[in-house]
Chains A and B, each alone.
Chain A
Amino acid sequence: MIYREAGRFHATYEEDQRIFPIRLDRVAIAGILAVAFIAIPFAGNDYWFSAILIPFLILSLAALGLNILTGYAGQLSLGSAGFMAVGAFAAFNLMLRVPGMPLLAAFFLAGLVTAVVGLFFGLPSLRIKGFYLAVTTLAAQFFIEWALTKFPWFSNRNPSGVISAQKMVIFGYVFSSPVSRYLLTLSIVTILAVAAKNLVRSRIGRAWMAVRDMDIAAEVIGIPMLRTKLLAFAVSSFYCGIAGALWAFAYLGSVEPQAFDLTRSFQILFMIIIGGMGSVLGAFLGAGFITLLPILLNVGAHTLFSGRISQSLLSNLELMLFGALIILFLALEPYGLARLWQIGKEKLRLWPFPH
């Protein structure tokens, strides 16, 4: 009933090729963006901006990057956090060493630097597949962390290897308040998410999916393996690099290479597994689940049980509950939260007359 497609006719090619062919979807997306850009900046407080929304958006972006590589192109990667680190350190060094470097240009170039690094570590994907490829990307993760720690040049010779991000200034405006940093992050994430959505439904995206589903068949119908796979690595790394730069500049303000360790890579991988492989929406849902749920559990446990149960027990219970919820959601829907949403949409179409 609500999600009916019947009766909507597309009269032009433009209408037919829209990102969201169903009007309700368009209204919903416009509504969400309006809330995110207009309502939240007025309603939110510093805590929400700088502790919840900014990290959520940044990790969504990283998950989106990995989803392009793993969910769409079918190349398993454990190096996402390493690529984030490259982005963060590249942006820092660009701002530091190039006089007059504009911030957004530094972000973009940091993304490109990461893309080049990703391209390099993507080379083995031409020969290796699946779990074996995961191991080579694991090497990327360790190599990047090692290199950034080993060579003090990357951190401008800070004794602890920690970089302090420069001030964020765009056209003379200093992005220092939490709400301004939130809006900057949101704008970048929105632009990149729309770009990703378009990319995956273009010729390139279809080529990625063909490679994912069966690479030999894809090669037989004329999809160039080298270019397609490496492009997936480059684009994915670009997204992770921008996410890393935002992590350093818009979120923490200072990072060390260890902030992007293997745990973070796994975290991003779990986001797309729980959120849904091969889905832009899934990246956001998964990031929400993995980053926000532990905080919600911590806040909830404190509100409910503070003072009555010992803190150590409470902290461990939160972790156990979080694990149980992951298992529960995966058991209910192995294809992730995005698939749940899809099922929900199909149900809505039939509502109120399910059969």
Chain B
Amino acid sequence: MNRSAGIARNAALIGLAVLAAGLFAPAAAPGQEQFIPMASYRVGPYAAGGSGTFGGFIDYLDMLNRRDGGINGVKLTWEECETEYKNDRGVECYERLKGKGPTGASMFNFVSTGITYAVIERATTDKIPIVSIGYGRADASDGRVFPYVFPLVTNYWSQNTAKIKFIGMKSGGMDKLKGKKIVNLYHGSAYGKETIPVLDLQAKKYGFILTHIEVPAPGNEQESQWLQIRQAKPDWVILRGWGVMNPVALKTAAKVGFPRDHIVGVWWSGAEEDVIPAGDAAKGFIAAGFHPSGTNFPVLKDIQKHVYSGGHKGNLEDVSRVGSIYYNRGVIHGILNTEAIRTAQAKFGKKSLTGEQIRWGLENLNIDEKRLKEIGAVGLLQPIKLSCTDHEGGGAVKFQQWDGKKWNLITDWIKSDQSIVRPLIEESAAGYAKEKGITPRDCSKE
């Protein structure tokens, strides 16, 4: 046997030992800590969204630890796990992280609709809440059927009704929508298809002519879809894009000559990373958002002060991304997660809490204007109040337009139309309950 092979073998053995230690070592359990798992994705086609959102999320927790020593003296801890935005890797991360920390995982945020779907049943069995802020299963807003799932702030269906309201506003009233042509250009995935029923319903109600056009994932080729759009000559295009699909859609729209200020995107189309690659083609593009960009909020100033100064480095390599859309979304993740922990602490005591206790905290979450001011997030986040029946809480959307350099808000909060959304949610949730043999909780007894 030659020498180098021997060294290689020894190195391999050491490596294996280290890996084994990582897989089998029990998590250290020092006193007052609250563990938040971070199933993030920083590689692959959606890495821009993952690194920005989880960067903001982690920086906010870091800031709370540095500024206040955690939440009421309970230090926040976290560990990352790479999901690559894939369902199977996400499930692996869920299983890997669910038991870490003194009391197990507080709650999971996957920032992926697919993974959220895949873990709902596991999490309900394990009694760990799944928080999906602005994505995930819309019908999970019915907390009676989905006790452990929290699609906070605004689900896709609510958002979609706000979009139609916005288009109505632009057209000069909802009655003017009659006969208008709207194309729904959607990402060919569970996420993309999610809004089809709610759009169909609104088309019937308002009398506009709706065409659904699918873009096969990931969406880096859209010539034929846009030619189809050009033939249909719609008044508006709703862009339900994600990742690389967004800049490609805008560029192709420019190529076929469709006006960009008549394209309304979902909030996963409305980040800087979605429009900058499209260059000038993105100018005028409108996107929905449940929060603005910018660093002009006290909470972001605090992050800059406590996390990105004094020789300390935050989670982002590129500090200029602080205040970007994805980053601010991450900060909102941080705020909502920690406020739920705070609410649960008020009931169960200032100590490490279990997922079941935090579920109570989420369900009784109530962030009013006053609390928003204390957090320093007025204007960044809308007031939100949850209940046993309503796991969504907010439901309002702002619209923003890209001017080539930054996103500008063009509307105030536009309320979604719950008279359309709620019956759909209840119907869909009831269907799920029947399929799975779940008896919905009786909320009057909670």
Contacts and interface: CB of A to CB of B under 8 A. Distances in A.
A302 B80 contact: yes
Given A46-B95, A162-B190, A254-B117, A296 B19 contact: yes
Interface stretch (B85-93, B261-269, B337-345, B361-369): B85-93
Interface string A250-294: 011111101101000000000000000000000000000000001
Contacts of A303: 18-19, 21-22, 25
A149 B193 contact: yes
Contacts of A316: 42-43
Contacts of B47: 312
Contacts of A251: 88, 91
A131 to B, nearest CB: 22
A312 B193 contact: no
Q: What band does the interface of chain A fall in when counting residues whose beta carbon is under 8 Å from B?
A: 35 or more
B117 A311 contact: no
A315 B39 CA distance: 12
Nearest to A297: B19
A180 interface: no
A253 B193 contact: no
B317 A312 contact: yes
A172 interface: no
Contacts of A252: 87-88, 91, 118
Contacts of B80: 302, 306, 311
Contact of A310 (B81, B96, B122, B317): B317
A51 B92 contact: yes
Given A254-B117, A299-B22, A319 B43 contact: yes
Nearest to B189: A258
Contacts, number: 117
B423 to A, nearest CB: 14
B155 interface: no
A298 B92 CA distance: 11
A256 B95 contact: no
A228 interface: no
B42 A51 contact: no
Nearest to B21: A303
A160 B428 CA distance: 11
- The listed residue with most A CB atoms (<10 A of its CB), out of B18, B99, B125, B193, is B193
B100 to A, nearest CB: 10
Contacts of B349: none
A318 B82 CA distance: 10
B188 interface: yes
Interface string B414-446: 000000000000001000100111000000000
Contact of A149 (B88, B214, B317): B214
A83 to B, nearest CB: 18
Given A298-B82, A303-B22, A149 B117 contact: no
Interface of B: 15, 18-19, 21-23, 25, 40-43, 47, 51, 54, 79-82, 87-89, 91-92, 94-96, 99, 113-114, 117-118, 120-122, 125, 137, 188-191, 193-194, 196-197, 214, 217, 315, 317, 428, 432, 435-437
Interface of A: 46-47, 50-52, 55, 149, 156, 159-162, 164, 166-167, 176, 251-256, 258-259, 261, 294-296, 298-300, 302-304, 306, 310-313, 315-316, 318-319
